[in-house]
A and B are shown apart, each in its own frame.
Chain A
């Protein structure tokens, strides 16, 4: 019935005619659309949610330890009981001790990253610590002299 040589116009005409025929034959309801009513009632045929029945497998006095574990698991799921694990873990170390350790920690790790010049200075420091305090004032300017930039003399 579909001929190859058919012009596009005649094709369109044919299609339109087909549609007309079909739409007349199509049945439809004259009734206006019913509103979908959302009901707030759910029908349930089982007793379990109504009466909050517990899980049917039970064991007592350690007869079957796996089932006892299961009992605790299932019944706590149903009742959503307590025992929310504490979010904060109890600190093993007190805050003060933490602060102290941190201070010294910074020093020791800081030394690792010092440049060679500074490391030598530090070593002198350690040696000089044993020296009397009186000489401290003498020693300090010399260190300063070392650190300061010496302008090249023309």
Chain B
């Protein structure tokens, strides 16, 4: 039996948790031994399965914290708990969409640098409409937007540029021009949140195109070099700016 007592998971939502903390879940998520309680408690049965997100591991009756950060909870769809932590280094995760840079062509396979511990491999057949005769035109130094097919600590990560139905749906080689830069992973999540304020405010400025990779890389393209650089500077700086400061900066720009 662990020496430390566990805390109720619901009580810790929004607070800082440290690795090694044990979070206890309500009895309804318990295993067969507590199945009787499930039947007795009326209306407390969970709608679905609980999602134990990044930073948490399943251990016995509760969740064990493995990263330090804020505990977040989402009650919808069966409930989900995860730890909101900040980091700059990306660890490949299956299903994530990332921007990779082609570093080598080894026969039928391209090696991509995704910012992880090893280069990911991408087969030339993993593009939409690619066959042995019809090869995609990929050169060393190209940018590719794809998702991970295989990503665990034991194997080399593999990427593909098509989804499960065989369509590319936006993935593949990212076009010419544009600017690639790196930010922290927390900012990417802020930008990708549904109805992100930063994105909404930026979209009012001028037409541009944006590709966000979960590995911290952002690619921006606008009509002129100056506009592109403006957007890059705003995105880099808005990690540490408050909402007010950001609006002031944007107001100055749109006034110019």
Interface residues of A (CB under 8 A from B): 35, 37-64, 67, 70, 73-75, 79
Q: Could you tell me how many residues of chain B have their Cβ less than 8 Å away from some Cβ of chain A?
A: 46
Complex Cα distance, B146 from A74, in Å, reads 15
Closest beta carbon of chain B to A23's beta carbon, Å = 33
Q: Which of the residues B29, B50, B96, B210 comes within 8 Å of A48, measured between beta carbons?
A: B96
Complex Cα distance, B92 from A107, in Å, reads 75
Complex Cα distance, B52 from A46, in Å, reads 10
Q: Report 19 cross-chain contacts, Cβ distance below 8 Å, ordered by A residue.
A: A35-B32, A39-B58, A40-B46, A41-B25, A42-B51, A43-B52, A44-B51, A48-B96, A48-B214, A50-B51, A51-B74, A51-B192, A56-B212, A57-B211, A60-B207, A60-B209, A61-B203, A63-B223, A75-B194
Q: Are B189 and A59 within 8 A (Cβ)? A: no
Complex Cα distance, B31 from A41, in Å, reads 10
Assess whether B49 is interfacial by the CB under 8 Å rule: yes
Assess whether B89 is interfacial by the CB under 8 Å rule: no
Q: Report B41-61 residues with CB < 8 Å from chain A CB.
A: 46, 49-54, 56-58
Q: Which chain B residues border A62 with CB–CB below 8 Å?
A: 207
Q: Are B96 and A46 within 8 A (Cβ)? A: yes
Q: Which chain A residues border B213 with CB–CB below 8 Å?
A: 56
Chain B residue at minimum C-beta to C-beta distance from A60: B203
Please list the 5 inter-chain residue pairs (A to B) with the smallest Cβ-Cβ separation, ordered nearest first: A61-B207, A60-B203, A53-B192, A63-B207, A56-B212
Q: Which chain A residues border B82 with CB–CB below 8 Å?
A: 47, 50-51
Q: Are B74 and A50 within 8 A (Cβ)? A: yes
Closest beta carbon of chain B to A153's beta carbon, Å = 85
Chain B residue at minimum C-beta to C-beta distance from A52: B194
- B91-113 Cβ-contact flags toward A at 8 Å (1 or 0): 00111110000000000000000
Q: Which chain B residues border A38 with CB–CB below 8 Å?
A: 31-32
Assess whether B181 is interfacial by the CB under 8 Å rule: no
Q: Are A56 and B145 within 8 A (Cβ)? A: yes
